[in-house]
Amino acid sequence: MAALASAEIAPYDDLVQLLEGEFAGYVDESAKCSLLVDQLLRELPSYPEAEDPRVLPLAERIGQLDGEFWVRRHRDNQLWRLWPLLADQASLTRIRALVRTPNIRRELAHLPREVTGPGES
């Protein structure tokens, strides 16, 4: 997993196909979600004016992760990592509803553009 996460494997849309096809039996869903978040963060600008249509479906996929404590914590951390890509209040509200860790949920109160001014990062 460390080798896969260390560098770009493929563009996001191709990576989705690889993870559902060729890598399907080798990588669990939690790891797939991590790889997809990593790639989306590589491809998309932070603090966008308009949200990429792939962000919310990925958040929904991550939100389906459940199980032991570490899986739930990982789920919430991956949802948190998507925050810089959010531009729509509806997406922020939905992601906030998927998060179960109180501290993370509390932090997801504002869109990135409301916290960071133009030109700042």
Q: Which pLDDT value is given to residue 117? A: 55
Q: Which pLDDT value is given to residue 22? A: 83
Q: Which pLDDT value is given to residue 116? A: 61
Question: What's the CA angle centered on 94, arms 100 and 53, to 5 degrees?
Answer: 130
From first to last of the 121 residues of the chain, give the pLDDT tens digit. 655 666 678 899 999 999 999 888 888 999 999 999 999 999 999 999 999 999 999 999 999 999 999 999 999 999 999 999 999 999 999 999 999 999 999 999 999 988 865 555 5
pTM: 0.88
For residue 99, how many other CB atoms are within 10 A of its CB? 22
Q: Which pLDDT value is given to residue 26? A: 86
User: Is the distance from CB of 90 to CB of 96 less than 8 angstroms?
Assistant: no
Question: What's the CA angle centered on 16, arms 69 and 94, to 5 degrees?
Answer: 55
For residue 51, how many other CB atoms are within 10 A of its CB? 17
**Exposed/middle/buried for residue 17 (C-beta within 10 Å: 0-12, 13-18, 19+):** exposed
